[in-house]
Amino acid sequence: MLLLNFWAKGQMNPLYFNEYLSENYYTLHPAMAGLNLTGIRVDLGSRQQWMNIVQRPRTQFLSIEYKTSPKTTLGFVGVNDKNGYHSQYKYNFTYCFRIYLNDQVWKTRRSFPTKNDNIQELSFALNVGRSGINLNQSSWIRTTQDPLLNKNLIDDNYTTFDAGIAYVSTRLSVQLSFHNLAFVASNLKDSNNENFYNVWANKIYLGALQYEIYTKKGWNFEPSFLFQLEEKTNENTLDLNFKVYKIIRNGRLWMGISRRQNNIKGGSLNGISTGQNYKHWTGVLGLNFRRKKFGYQYTKALGKVSFSNQGIHYISFGFQL
């Protein structure tokens, strides 16, 4: 049950595990919209968890990027998540502006960089979107219906604002993003002077860095990390990643591994404290071929206590026009 508890606590976070490692940092960082792009890019993904569990969690992803000019990109990211009787969604519309720090405006037909590309650019982006959560109790068996539950359907949604900045070069890339921005505090007081959680102001801060190491034989190595901090709970998460790329004819292969750990320890299981931080590892495998991308990830929770022995599968497909 531990993994489920951590998932429930993170429901207002960006709804992601390590999907960004399938060549789509835009899902987390709005300032990465339009990177390595000359036209339109579409990315689809599906995540499935705990195959032997009824009402298991499942999530769908969609991102669309349109390079309207060399310096301007418009984008859309949509996430739909269902977990038993709970469901939630988040979608954003993005405006990204890119400044090239060298004289060369990179216009390759590839969807990925190589050591021969002279990349040095700075980008800024804003997201405006909508998030919603839902609890559907209509299928629950009760002797009476509670009229206070609005016909057994609890639904709430709100407008979200995100912002980000990114620096990308041939070797080093850095991103900073700020999710769920609001001009009110996340902790407020009610009429009884008691603290309550303002979900509309659940600010989340993300920082990431990648460094590309090139070789003369077509192999590339990329160590990276991602750090996430949630303002309300002071919960932070660290991803340590390592990917390997192999240049092939008309594309490249990539594989990698990631380890995530959360600083919050689990509560109790059957009255016994677990004293266990949530952590998992993720294996990544994929292919860029011409203007298409295929990706697969497998995530497995670590630790002695977990909800299921089965892992999490994520499949993605993308293409450029």
Helix spans in the chain (H): 2-9
pLDDT per residue over 295-305, tens digit each? 999 998 887 65
Dihedral pair phi/psi, residue 53, rounded to 5°: -110, 130
4 or 95, greater pLDDT: 95
CA distance linking residue 139 with residue 183, whole number of Å? 38
149 or 125, greater pLDDT: 125
Sign of CA dihedral 313, 296, 173, 219: positive
Domain boundaries along the sequence of the chain: 2-139+150-320
Q: Of 45-59, 144-158, 222-236, which range is least confident?
A: 144-158
Contact 243, 254 (CB under 8 A): yes
Contact 318, 46 (CB under 8 A): no
pLDDT per residue over 91-123, tens digit each? 999 999 999 988 766 666 666 777 778 889 999
pLDDT per residue over 72-86, tens digit each? 999 999 999 887 778
CA distance linking residue 278 with residue 267, whole number of Å? 11
Torsion, CA 149, CA 150, CA 154, CA 159, rounded to 10 = -140
For the cut 90, the answer to whether the pLDDT of residue 125 exceeds it is: yes
> Rounded mean pLDDT of the chain?
81
Quick check: helix, strand or coil at residue 19? helix
Q: What is the DSSP string of 221-244?
A: EEEEEEEEEETTTTEEEEEEEEEE
pLDDT at 180: 86
Q: Band of the pLDDT at 268, cuts 50, 70, 90? A: low
CA distance linking residue 280 with residue 262, whole number of Å? 9
pLDDT at 29: 95
Q: Using alpha carbons, list the distances in angstroms from residue 212 to 34, 215, 243.
A: 19, 10, 9
For the cut 60, the answer to whether the pLDDT of residue 231 exceeds it is: yes
218 or 142, greater pLDDT: 218
Enter the tokens of residue 250.
């008309």
Q: What angle do CA 300, 302, 308 make, to 5 degrees?
A: 60
For the cut 60, the answer to whether the pLDDT of residue 198 exceeds it is: no
CATH of domain 2-139+150-320: 2.40.160.40
